[in-house]
Each structure stands twice: as C-alpha cells, then as structure tokens.
Structure 1
C-alpha cells in the first residue's frame, strides 16, 4: 500500500513537471505575445523611431540623387543648337538671328571692304541684276557712268584696262584711268572710316555740282549712307571736303549695292 502511494506521488510530480515545461519559456526566435495594453504603450515609441529612421535615410538618398539630376538639368538648360550663317535672297550674309542687316550695317561692311580693297567682299553686295554704278561726282550720269556686274567688280582691282569715267570738273578733261587709279582718286581718297561723319538718307556734303541722287535713286526704293569729311587741310578752309555715298536698293528687308557716288568741292 505504501509503495503504491509512493508510485502515484511520483507520477503526479512527473505530470506537473511536464506541464510546466510545456507552458514555460518560448522557443527561440518566437516573440512573446503582447497584451493590448503593452501594444498601446509601445506603439508611439516605435512610430517615433521609425519616423526618425525614415528622415535619417531620406536625405542620404536625396544627396546621392541630386547631383546627377542637377547636372542633367543644367546640361539640358545650357545646351544650344549650333547656329548657321544664312544668306538673304540677294545673296548677302545675314546676322546670327537670320535677319538681313540694316542699311547701316550693310554700309559698314561695304566701306570696310572698300578700304581694304577686298573686291570679293565688295562684289558680294553688288545687285545681282543691276550691277554697280560708279559716279565720280554728285551728279549721277545714267548714260555715261560706268556700271559693272558682280563678277566684273570682283576682278576690277587687278584689271589694267584704262576706261573713261567721264570728265574732270573744271577742266573738262577725260577721266581716263584704270580702276586702281580711279579708286585712289574717286573712291577711297580719304579716311572715311576714321574721320567721316555718317548720315542715312541725308546729304551732308554740298558743292556746286548738282546732286540728283534722289531722282536717279528714289527714296521709296533706295537707301543711301553718306560718309562726309568736312575738311582735310585746315589751311584751305574746307575747300578739300570729301563725301562718299553708298546707294542700296531695298529688296524687302534686304539691301543690294547699286551705286558708289564720290563727291567733293568743285570750282
């Protein structure tokens, strides 16, 4: 009887130990369940930590991406397509925006080509159909003044042919010269670029020779730019004044050179 009780007690103790083992420490890697009260107490802290971690990592991502994005944006903003030099309907060069040059700009280019004896550049401005007329004095003689085509103008400086360019004022002698000599006497015979007063569609020099520019070249169809030097030698009190008038036909917004008129004091 005693032995049976002892066996029964041991069995009871063994059963209690087994129950204790089953309800004891949870398995490794298994989080203990939390009561609703514990969850409510911990959730704000966990939320704050998660927000701090998000803010901490976000700037790093922005710093990594921003330089590349900025570089791409700057490249796109500063990249420009190359601009091409265009020519107008008259064959004249246009500015970078594709607009024909104004008459002042055209005259500036022409007077520089004249000074530099750049006949190729000068020829590029000559009217394709009407050519270029040279007048040694203010009066434009449409019958006797010589007219040259664009191709002829390009080779004039090296042309040794002597031509009659009308007659000298006062003496009436024939102006029989090569173009190179005519150029020295009746084209660029003074420093018009450095010393001249410039006017557009306005005559500055006035002598005894009749000025019929606006009759031959009506202002509705033509523009002219005058380069005027009031005097070269002070001792002659202005009797050596010079003018050079560049006449352009207006073709829409374009300008084509049709006349070079030289003027000076005459007896």
Structure 2
C-alpha cells in the first residue's frame, strides 16, 4: 500500500514538473506582420510658362532693337530689320529727299561701317556745303550723335522735335502703311537753351503685323 501511494506521489510530481516547465517557457516570438513601406510620392513637375514665340514685334519693340544696334554699331543686327526689297533710307534732316538721300540694302548695310568710301549724303543746313563722309563719320554725326537710349523721350507716330526744316515724313511714309518711333532729346548743353536738341526717327513699313525698317531720319536745330 505504501509503495502504491509512493508511486502515486511520484506520478503526480512528474505531472507538476511538466506543467511548470511549460509555464516557464519563454513566450513564442510573435509572427512578424508584413511591413508596408510608404512609397514617397513623385514630385509633380511645375508648370513651365513658355514665352509666346513667333509673335510680330510692335513698332516700339522693333525700334528698341534698332536703336540698340545703332548705339553699338551692330550693322548685322541693324540689317536684319531692314526691308528685304526697299532697303533703308538715311536722311540727315527732317525733310526726306527721295531723290538724293542714300538708300542701302541689307547686304550693303552689313559692311557699311568698315567701308572707307566717302559718299555725299546731302548738304549741311545753313552752309550748303556737301555732307561728304564715310558711313562711320555720318553715323557719328547724323545717326547716333547723342545718347538716345539714356536721355531721350520716346513717342510713337508723333513728332517731338520741330525746327525750321520741313518735316515731310508722313508724305513719304504714309501713316496707313507705316509706323515711326521718335527718340527726342530736348537739349544737351543748358548754356545754349535747347538749340542743341536732337531727334532720331525710325520708320517702319507695316508688313501685315510685322515691321521692316525703311527710314532713319535724323533731325536737329537748324538756322
């Protein structure tokens, strides 16, 4: 009986040891959840504003390019604006003389600054002497002879300078088919009280909505 009882206790102890072993075992590692990484959103390209191309320039825009070319003596850029068939006429004073004022084609204009040939550009107001100069000399005295870009007032299709010389611009270049932009300096030396005023008129023929340079008219005080 004692032995049976002892066997019972032994069995019971074994069962208890087994339960204790199971209870003390470390917890099983949790099954890892599938990790989902948030994908970075692609940066959306910003809208690029593309400038309008192919739009014909206004008379003021064309004049701005031409006056810069004249200041720089950039004859290639100047030639690019010249009328492809009519060329460009140079007038030293307000009166445009269609018989004697010199006209140059685009190709002639490109090399004109380096041309050493003296030409007769008309006569000086007052003295009547011939204006016989190379183009470079004429350019300095009867084209860009003042800082028009810096100092001038600008007007479109309106004459600002008025001297004793007749201004026949609208007769030679009719308003319905031409635009002109005038750069006018009221005076350079205050001591002469405006008797040294200058104007430069750039005349464009309208070709549809486009503009082609046909005239460069210089004007100034004359006796």
TM-score of the aligned structures, taking structure 2 as reference length: 0.81
1: CA distance between counterparts of 2:220 and 2:97?
A: 16
How much does 1:96 deviate? 4.2
Secondary structure at the aligned position of 2:38 is classed as helix
1:4 is aligned to none
Q: Give the structure 2 partner of residue 243 of structure 1.
A: 199
Aligned to 2:179: 223
Per-residue CA deviations over 1:102-152 (Å, capped at 9, x if unaligned) read 111110000000000000000000000000100000000000000000000
Quick one: distance in 1 between partners of 2:55 and 2:158?
A: 25
Partner of 1:116: 72
Alpha-carbon distance in 1 for matches of 2:52, 2:115: 35
How far apart in 1 are the matches of 2:88 and 2:110? 11
Matching residue of 1:176 = 132
- CA positional deviation for 1:100: 1.2
Q: 2 CA distance for matches of 1:163 and 1:64?
A: 80
* Whole-angstrom distance in 2 between the partners of 1:194 and 1:119: 20
Partner SS state of residue 64, structure 1: coil
Match of 1:162 in 2: 118
Q: Does 1:64 align with 2:38?
A: yes
Superposition pairs of residues 19-38 of structure 1, within 5 angstroms? none
Number of positions where the alignment pairs a residue of Structure 1 with one of Structure 2: 191
Question: Does 2:124 match 1:150?
Answer: no
Structure 1 runs not aligned, ≥5 long: 1-56, 84-94
Aligned residue in 2 for 1:210 = 166
**Distance (Å, rounded) in 1 between the aligned partners of 2:185 and 2:108:** 29
Unaligned stretches of 5+ residues in structure 2: 1-33
TM-score, normalization: structure 1? 0.68
Q: CA offset at residue 64 of structure 1?
A: 2.5
Looking at both structures, which has the greater relative contact order when contacts are Cα pairs under 8 Å and sequence separation is at least 6? 2
| Distance of 1:177 and 1:123 partners within structure 2 | 20
